[in-house]
Amino acid sequence: MAVYTHLDDRTLTSLIEQFDIGTLESVKGIAEGVSNSNWMVTTTTDRFILTMYERRIELRDLPFFLGLLDHLAAKGCPVPRTIHDRTGAAFRMLENKAVALFEFLPGVSIEHPEPAQAHSVGQALAGIHVASADFEMQRRNDLGLEDWRALAEDCGEEGLMEIDPLLPEIVTSELDFLASQWPHELPRSVIHADLFPDNVLMLDNEVSGLIDFYFACTDITAYDLAVTHAAWCFSPDGREYKPEIGAALLEGYTGVRPLSEAERKALPILARGASLRFLLTRAEDWLHTPGDALVTRKDPMDFARRLACYAADGEKCFALK
Amino acid sequence: MAVYTHLDDRTLTSLIEQFDIGTLESVKGIAEGVSNSNWMVTTTTDRFILTMYERRIELRDLPFFLGLLDHLAAKGCPVPRTIHDRTGAAFRMLENKAVALFEFLPGVSIEHPEPAQAHSVGQALAGIHVASADFEMQRRNDLGLEDWRALAEDCGEEGLMEIDPLLPEIVTSELDFLASQWPHELPRSVIHADLFPDNVLMLDNEVSGLIDFYFACTDITAYDLAVTHAAWCFSPDGREYKPEIGAALLEGYTGVRPLSEAERKALPILARGASLRFLLTRAEDWLHTPGDALVTRKDPMDFARRLACYAADGEKCFALK
């Protein structure tokens, strides 16, 4: 959550001149993004978000991410359109890093969703699944089923034990369960894969923006709904399931993209997978971040609790009214 | 340069409702401010900067800072107007910290000023000196002449020596020189006291905003011009004096507020004082920041070089064309 690179006024002014968007009026580094730096840019014509990709690895995937946003925006999804430069390029290199410019979307991230808001999130998520059906690029999910065992091994039994004495057993048995039960045959599409509340902008009860597509990939469509369910329908610590939020999310989603019987049946398993995915990446971050670091570590156990809830009551969580 | 406090959507929405500025449309934490957190807020009517004061000490001075901005803005100076709440208050308490809302000013901070830009900075600085003549509140300069010896003692001879072997002798002899030569009798007023390029917003060659008045205080008026001169007219490391920038700054300033003969004569001494002030506060930060910290330490010697330049060529630096 920082601006990692300093851009001076001359660099910025000449960057903005490469686009047909008027002249630079204001620029403020914004505290968003983990592996990229972001600025809110105002020109004589409009407001934009400028993103600089700080890690090499993202460069390879940039055509997928930016092409996807253009594809979805063209179909009316509330995602930030990529602003292409005067030569038509979706990104440019600046000081050896890729930068891209995006439409600014209004809206505020909601921390305590109301059912009407969850309903709108469900609709918007289904909207990108439907709209991406004819998007031709693909990207492997780097944090999918096949990667979880390696993540667990990276944490190590001792590491997991350090977080919670029960965690090694939870992880091992869940890995085995999911490996045997995963519904590989379900329909696949582009998925957002990280649609937490901070990646959704809202105006009143309506989604005004879906942002941060940097985990987007090709995977089981219904898995994205499971991720979103785990992200929205619990208290942050995972202790309290909120059935009215879950029902509204599901209703919003299925109103736009009905689920097949097989998808619906698989949701509890997919949600266990989603919980394990965030449990493991959080565990990895936890073990790699010193306890006294300035960065707030997110407790992996928040997702162990979700996992337990889905394992015990998964069918109830995904029952339609 | 961070956002230290998390404000959720509900807190923000109800805060904005306390002002007559429409409803919340967007909020982005911005990477500005050292001892406060800042957000760029957009409502249905306009854009604003929300500032949260993270340190207790500023609270005491807040009526001075905010009253000054209102006073200057009312007189047409390009400073951010304080937005008062529905009860007329200039600041409110939120989660035990003071918050204030400001008009958003367009403009970009310039790192490599042109003479025309320095001319405009001189005009704007003189403008706040003239406009504050009838501002009735006072605030002591906490980093003025009387405080420099204590700053030097806090660094210690060993500390200064660690930065540069010559530094203890430079500081001691300069403290003695300034104590005996300081022009106490010169006219006093409100001064900004920290008008570095990052505290000035520009559109083309014109100042569109003077910001960050949190060092503002009552002191010798011409000292502010000396601070601004030291801040704008050198390469960042202080090795190169830029006479055309210095001349333009002075010309812009004196066109709005002519200097008395006594003020003009005192400028080289005031500029030595300004250089020592930033040398000492940087030295303190340097010694209190571990070398491997994430924060970039600013080299105190950048201002030892300015000091040497003013001591050797001060009259030339402040000669009018």
A54 pLDDT tier (thresholds 50, 70, 90)? confident
Chain B CB contacts of A106 below 8 Å: 25-26, 42
Could you report the per-residue pLDDT of A196-234, keeping only the tens digit for each? 999 999 999 999 999 999 999 999 999 999 999 999 999
Distances (CA, A) of B306 to A84, B148, B235: 45, 17, 10
Is A46 part of the contact surface with chain B (CB cutoff 8 Å)? no
Are B107 and A25 an interchain contact pair (Cβ–Cβ within 8 Å)? Answer: yes
Q: Which pLDDT score, from 0 to 100, does residue A235 have?
A: 96
For an interface test with A, give the residue of B44, B108, B114 to mutate (most A CBs within 10 A): B108
A6 pLDDT tier (thresholds 50, 70, 90)? confident
Could you report the per-residue pLDDT of B156-198, keeping only the tens digit for each? 999 999 999 999 999 999 999 999 999 999 999 999 999 999 9
Please determine, for residue B1, whether its predicted confidence score (pLDDT) is greater than 60: no
Q: What's the whole-number mean pLDDT along residues A149-177?
A: 96
Q: Which pLDDT score, from 0 to 100, does residue B147 have?
A: 96
Q: Which pLDDT score, from 0 to 100, does residue A35 have?
A: 77
Q: How many CA atoms lie within 13 A of B12 on its CB side?
A: 29
Please determine, for residue A135, whether its predicted confidence score (pLDDT) is greater than 60: yes
Is A17 part of the contact surface with chain B (CB cutoff 8 Å)? no
A2 pLDDT tier (thresholds 50, 70, 90)? low
Q: Which pLDDT score, from 0 to 100, does residue A266 have?
A: 97
Are A108 and B31 an interchain contact pair (Cβ–Cβ within 8 Å)? Answer: no
Please determine, for residue B252, whether its predicted confidence score (pLDDT) is greater than 60: yes
Is B25 part of the contact surface with chain A (CB cutoff 8 Å)? yes
Count other C-beta atoms under 10 Å from residue A294's C-beta. Answer: 8
Please determine, for residue A292, whether its predicted confidence score (pLDDT) is greater than 70: no
d(CA B67, CA B213): 11
B56-74 helix and B115-131 helix, angle to the nearest 10 degrees: 100
Q: Tokens 């920082």 appear where?
A: A2
B289 pLDDT tier (thresholds 50, 70, 90)? confident
* Mean pLDDT estimate for chain A: 94
Q: What percentage of chain A carries pLDDT values higher than 70? A: 97
Q: Which pLDDT score, from 0 to 100, does residue B57 have?
A: 65
Please report the sign of the dihedral spanned by the C-alpha atoms of residue A271, residue A272, residue A277, residue A282. Answer: positive
Count other C-beta atoms under 10 Å from residue B197's C-beta. Answer: 20
Is B211 part of the contact surface with chain A (CB cutoff 8 Å)? no
Q: Which pLDDT score, from 0 to 100, does residue B295 have?
A: 64
Q: What's the whole-number mean pLDDT along residues A85-104?
A: 94
Q: What's the whole-number mean pLDDT along residues B142-160?
A: 95
Q: Identify the helix (H) or strand (E) that includes residue B130.
A: helix B115-131
Please determine, for residue A31, whether its predicted confidence score (pLDDT) is greater than 90: no
A98 pLDDT tier (thresholds 50, 70, 90)? very high
Q: How many CA atoms lie within 13 A of B129 on its CB side?
A: 27
**Could you give the maximum distance between any two Cα atoms of chain B, in Å?**
59
Is A8 part of the contact surface with chain B (CB cutoff 8 Å)? yes
Nearest-Cα distance to chain A for B135, in Å, is: 30
d(CA A58, CA A185): 29
Please determine, for residue A37, whether its predicted confidence score (pLDDT) is greater than 70: yes
Count other C-beta atoms under 10 Å from residue A237's C-beta. Answer: 12
Please determine, for residue A56, whether its predicted confidence score (pLDDT) is greater than 80: no
Could you report the per-residue pLDDT of B269-286, keeping only the tens digit for each? 999 999 999 999 999 999
Please determine, for residue A293, whether its predicted confidence score (pLDDT) is greater than 90: no
> Quick one: A161 exposed, middle or buried, by C-beta within 10 A (0-12, 13-18, 19+)?
middle
Q: What's the whole-number mean pLDDT along residues A251-273?
A: 97
* Mean pLDDT estimate for chain B: 94
Q: What's the whole-number mean pLDDT along residues A34-48?
A: 92
How big is the CA angle at B304 (ends B298 and B307), to the nearest 5 degrees? 130
Are B108 and A24 an interchain contact pair (Cβ–Cβ within 8 Å)? Answer: yes
Q: Is the ipTM of this complex over 0.90?
A: no
Q: Which pLDDT score, from 0 to 100, does residue B5 have?
A: 83
Contacts of A265 (CB under 8 A, 6+ apart): none
What chain B holds in terms of domains, given with CATH numbers, is 9-103 (3.30.200.20), 115-317 (3.90.1200.10)
> Quick one: B296 exposed, middle or buried, by C-beta within 10 A (0-12, 13-18, 19+)?
exposed
Chain B CB contacts of A108 below 8 Å: 9, 12-13, 24-27
Is B40 part of the contact surface with chain A (CB cutoff 8 Å)? yes
Please determine, for residue B4, whether its predicted confidence score (pLDDT) is greater than 90: no
B199 pLDDT tier (thresholds 50, 70, 90)? very high
For an interface test with B, give the residue of A3, A8, A30, A199 to mutate (most B CBs within 10 A): A30
Please determine, for residue A1, whether its predicted confidence score (pLDDT) is greater than 60: no
Q: What is the DSSP string of A212-269?
A: --TT-EEEEHHHHHHHHHHHHSB-TTS--B-HHHHHHHHHHHHHHSPPPHHHHHHHHH
Please determine, for residue B292, whether its predicted confidence score (pLDDT) is greater than 70: no
Chain A CB contacts of B110 below 8 Å: 9
Could you report the per-residue pLDDT of B25-37, keeping only the tens digit for each? 999 999 877 778 9
Q: What's the whole-number mean pLDDT along residues A81-102?
A: 95
Is B243 part of the contact surface with chain A (CB cutoff 8 Å)? no
Check: CB of residue B61 under 8 Å from CB of residue B139: yes
Q: What distance lies between CA A236 and its chain's CA centroid?
A: 16
Q: Which pLDDT score, from 0 to 100, does residue A57 have?
A: 65
User: Which alpha helices (DSSP H) does B243-260 contain, by range?
Assistant: 243-256
Q: Which pLDDT score, from 0 to 100, does residue A112 have?
A: 92
Q: Residue B295's closest chain A neighbor by CA?
A: A4
For an interface test with A, give the residue of B30, B32, B43, B48 to mutate (most A CBs within 10 A): B30
Is B235 part of the contact surface with chain A (CB cutoff 8 Å)? no
In B49-108, the residues whose Cβ lies within 8 Å of chain A are 104, 106-108
Q: Identify the helix (H) or strand (E) that includes residue A34.
A: none
d(CA B206, CA B202): 5
Distances (CA, A) of A128 to A105, A198, B207: 17, 18, 45
Q: What's the whole-number mean pLDDT along residues B65-91?
A: 97
Q: What's the whole-number mean pLDDT along residues A304-311?
A: 97
- B4-33 burial, b for 16+ CB within 10 Å, e for fewer? ebebebeebeebbeebebeebbbbbbbbbb
Q: What's the whole-number mean pLDDT along residues A188-194?
A: 97
> Quick one: A155 exposed, middle or buried, by C-beta within 10 A (0-12, 13-18, 19+)?
buried
Q: Identify the helix (H) or strand (E) that includes residue A305.
A: helix A301-317
Greater confidence (B201 vs B7) lies with: B201
Q: What percentage of chain B carries pLDDT values higher than 70? A: 97
